[in-house]
Amino acid sequence: MNFFEANFDGLVGPTHNYAGLSVGNVASLSNAKNSSSPRQAAKQGLSKMKALHDLGMVQGVLAPQERPDVYTLRRLGFTGTDAQVIAKAAKQAPAVLRAVCSASSMWTANAATISPSADTHDGKVHFTPANLTNKFHRSLEPVTTGRILQAMFRDPAHFAHHTHLPDNDHFGDEGAANHTRLCSAYGKRGVELFVFGRYAFDSSQPAPKRFPARHTLEACEAVARLHGLSGEHVVYMQQNPDVIDQGVFHNDVIAVGNQNVLFYHQQAFVDTQNKLNELRRKFGNETDLHLIEVKDSDVSVSEAIKTYLFNTQVITLPSGEMAIIAPTECQESHAVSSYLAALVQQHTPIRHVHYYDVKQSMRNGGGPACLRLRVALSEQEKQAVNPNVLMNDALFSTLNQWVDKHYRDQISEADLADPQLLDESRSALDELTQILGLGSVYQFQQV
Ligand code: SUG
């Protein structure tokens, strides 16, 4: 049977803005309060999706969430009509309004953790939405994320959906941004590598001092249990607390893997050699495992954070060769572009580099890999995916027209208080659920 990896990219929502909401994420804080372009952001994302489709990849679209989130504002005591709720929040709690306006669901690497059917106890693809407890604006995502994933992966014969982990920092879960699957082929049982920032129940263990570690070991273990993974095929690695303190808020800012390649920075992990030995042993020797370590002397941690060298997608093209999908920031850095030019000449499966402009997302700390959720599927499982969410020429042009019709060209902080923005968002999303055949996944559609 044919197996492959599909990428589901987050469609940028109509309220995309720079609010400086993510302590520990350097780009988010340094661009706080700049004005944004939701239209350009959505189009940059769509162009990347189309480019991957054109490279022969299976590419899907994950719908954005309804923002501003007036339901959360009501839970926090703001009353009246929707317009009044927004006006009161703008006046009394502007920071809360900014948070409930975030379009952060675009970074679908944080939407969920997925285990493909080859790895799970019941031979189904398992999904657990991430609870994203560490950031208030992101903690508003998991319920709707779960609904959207169920509307995309409906068939219970193939897909198992779990509820997100308990909403507490002890089980802080940031999803696939901290999860990599290594395998000899997509359809063969792989090793699932879970990366965490800290131990929730053991404060004697190392932890960062300046910035938060968002994801715990205990969350990783819970997801592995829910997905029915065998302990012999799971590895847990801790992120180096020092790199979290430099701005590596997710592991996918410092490491990325695909099939038999793990591409990582020398400073990414704690206890690196022992853990990589465990990984080698569990991976077995059916295929060579390529552990590509980038040295400080080639690319420093700060240059990696600035350019997002590791927030690249390593993909297997239909030819079997691998390509790196990198943001143009990598091309603009001499150190990184020369590193990548040399890498594709070496004896690793990575043969090509393609650069794409996702600057609107990058300014909030979201690179190409943040924008995508990977799902390894068999041909039969792919047939069971809601076909309306899969990218093709027609969907690309429909979604571009939809963006032109509904999205603003510019948003600045003051615009978030405009009640029109909620109406615009709702009409956009209402139409989108029809385009993508999702049904009534949004709360405003259920009343
Ligand atoms: O959670 N930024 C996101 C970026 C997520 C990137 N994802 C991965 N690395 N996989 C975050 O920090 C900033 C929003 C603002 O400041 O307006 C934000 O949420």
Tell me which of 215, 370, 406, 424 is the catalytic residue.
370
Annotated catalytic, 250?
A: yes
Residue type, 159: F
Distance (angstroms) between ligand 1 centre and the Cα of 366 equals 6
Per residue, the 3-state secondary structure of 7-31, as one string, reads EEEECCCCCCCCCCCCCCCHHHHHC
pLDDT along the chain (447 residues), means of 10: 95 98 96 97 98 98 98 98 98 98 98 98 98 98 98 98 98 98 97 98 97 98 98 98 98 98 98 98 95 98 98 97 98 98 97 98 98 98 98 98 98 97 98 98 92
Task: For the full predicted model, state whether its pTM sits above 0.95.
Answer: yes
In the prediction, which pLDDT does 410 show?
A: 98
Give strand ranges (E) for 307-444.
313-316, 322-327, 350-356, 372-378
Which of 431, 412, 380, 430 has the alpha carbon at shortest distance from 15?
A: 412
Q: Give domain status of residue 25, yes or no.
A: yes
Q: Which amino acid is at 61?
A: V
Q: Which atom belonging to ligand 1 lies closest to the Cα atom of 370?
A: 10
232 within some domain: yes
Query: Is the residue at 391 inside a domain?
Result: yes
Per the CB < 8 A criterion, the answer to whether 51 and 356 are in contact is yes
User: Does any ligand 1 atom lie closer than 6 A to the CB of residue 115?
Assistant: no
The answer to whether residue 270 sits within a structural domain is yes
Tell me, yes or no, whether 72 lies in a domain: no
Give start and end residues of each alpha helix (H) in 153-258: 217-226, 241-244
| CA-based nearest residue to 314, from 345, 271, 343 | 343
Cβ–ligand 1 distance for 212 under 6 Å, the answer: no
Is residue 8 within 8 Å of residue 372, measured between CB atoms?
yes
Ligand 1 pocket test, pick from 8, 17, 28, 173 with the greatest ligand atom count within 8 Å of Cβ, gives: 28
Residue 190, domain CATH: 3.75.10.20
27 C-alpha to center of ligand 1: Å?
9
Domain count, the chain: 1
At 309 the pLDDT is: 98
Query: What does the pLDDT read at residue 54?
Result: 98
State the residue range of the domain holding 431.
Answer: 3-67+102-445
- Ligand 1 atom nearest to CA at 104: 19
* DSSP character at residue 436: T
| 199 located within any domain | yes
| Whole-number pLDDT of residue 1 | 75
Tell me if 162 sits within 8 A of 128, measured CB to CB. yes
Residue 154, number of CB atoms within 10 A of its CB:
15
Neighbour-count burial of 87, counting CB atoms closer than 10 A to its CB (0-12 exposed, 13-18 middle, 19+ buried): middle
Examine residue 75 and state whether it is found in any structural domain, yes or no.
no
In a domain? residue 191: yes
Which tokens is 164 given? 């997100």
